[in-house]
């Protein structure tokens, strides 16, 4: 079963949060953002997460909360916000109608581009650069989803309750790296390599990572063959793997 509140946290911090990385990695993203001055969009979900994304000079950044935003999109429930992500809900701003053109044009085009990379046409993946960017974006989204499931999903929270403090390095050899930081059984995803990991999970190549993300290969078999390296605090990795099983349900 999927918890709608947990999904809302994943959709906001994981999916929309990946817009930061899209703007850094995809050259076509910068040409989409035509605003001359910074514009910030705040998302406020009743009973769920809130965050503000600021767009400036072809880049964007996300911060928690939306006290200071140019455009505010309120959602009456987590289900309504999740509807925004799956395309079944059209939000109505409570603030910032003068920026509606940016919302309908630039922001929509940018999220469409993100969807192109996150749910790619198989033909697009034949391009080496597209493949690398798409897989990197998936890697970052998954790392944030791990943290949100560990903090909000009931099954995920049980796994998190059995994790000791420390950092888990979650990476692709020669490629992108993220850190899952555990503190008092709460998880935080950081889209940077861990400097002092207590446990390590590393995929041997970007192709292997992609096959795993797409469910084409068996993770246990990859551990046995050495294509996934796991070392350090075994209990952390064991519980991380349990949470990873939940990620596939939420990001399906």
pLDDT tens sequence across 120-133: 999 999 999 999 99
Question: pLDDT tens-digit profile of 175-226?
Answer: 999 999 999 999 999 999 999 999 999 999 999 999 998 888 888 888 889 9
The Cα angle at residue 83 between residues 80 and 87, in degrees rounded to 5: 150
Say if residue 149's pLDDT is above 90.
Answer: yes
Share of the chain above pLDDT 90, in %: 89
- What pLDDT is recorded for position 180? 98
Query: Left if phi > 0, otherwise alpha if psi is -120 to 50, otherwise beta: which for 205?
Result: beta
The Cα angle at residue 206 between residues 202 and 212, in degrees rounded to 5: 75
User: Two tokens at 244?
Assistant: 């990873």
SS3 20: helix
1: confidence class by pLDDT, cuts 50, 70, 90: confident
Please choose, from the candidates 198, 192, 164, 160, the residue with its C-alpha nearest in 3D space to the C-alpha of residue 178: 192
Say if residue 233's pLDDT is above 90.
Answer: yes
Q: What is the pTM of this model?
A: 0.95
Q: CATH classification of 124-250 is 3.30.1050.10, yes or no? A: yes
CA separation, residue 250 to residues 14, 22, 162, 203 (Å): 11, 21, 22, 21
Please choose, from the candidates 129, 236, 131, 139, the residue with its C-alpha nearest in 3D space to the C-alpha of residue 192: 139
Domain ranges of the chain: 4-118, 124-250
Question: pLDDT tens-digit profile of 37-54?
Answer: 999 999 999 999 999 999
109: confidence class by pLDDT, cuts 50, 70, 90: very high
89: confidence class by pLDDT, cuts 50, 70, 90: very high
Classified by CATH at the fold level, domain 4-118 comes out as: Nonspecific Lipid-transfer Protein; Chain A (3.30.1050)
User: Residue 34's Cα: distance from chain center in Å?
Assistant: 24
Q: Name the H helices within 10-65.
A: 19-25, 27-32
């Amino acid at each position: 079963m999927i918890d709608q509140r947990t999904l809302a946290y994943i959709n906001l911090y994981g999916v929309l949060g990946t817009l930061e990385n899209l703007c850094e990695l995809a050259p076509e993203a910068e040409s989409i953002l035509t605003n001359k001055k910074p514009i910030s969009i705040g998302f406020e979900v009743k009973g769920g997460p809130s965050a503000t994304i600021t767009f400036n000079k072809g880049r964007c950044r996300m911060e928690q909360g939306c006290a200071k935003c140019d455009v505010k999109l309120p959602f009456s429930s987590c289900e309504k916000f999740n509807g925004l992500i799956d395309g079944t809900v059209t939000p109505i701003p409570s603030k910032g109608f003068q920026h509606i053109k940016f919302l309908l044009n630039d922001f929509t085009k940018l999220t469409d581009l993100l969807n192109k990379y996150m749910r790619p046409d198989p033909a697009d993946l034949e391009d080496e650069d597209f493949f690398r960017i798409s897989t990197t974006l998936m890697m970052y989204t998954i790392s944030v989803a791990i943290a949100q499931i560990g903090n909000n999903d009931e099954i995920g929270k049980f796994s998190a309750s059995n994790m000791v403090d420390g950092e888990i390095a979650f990476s692709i050899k020669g490629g992108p790296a993220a850190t899952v930081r555990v503190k008092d059984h709460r998880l935080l995803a950081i889209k940077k390599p861990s400097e002092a990991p207590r446990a390590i999970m590393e995929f041997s190549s970007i192709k292997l990572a992609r096959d795993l993300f797409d469910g084409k290969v068996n993770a246990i078999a990859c551990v046995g063959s050495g294509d996934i390296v796991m070392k350090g605090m075994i209990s952390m990795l064991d519980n991380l793997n349990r949470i990873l099983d939940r990620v596939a349900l939420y990001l399906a």
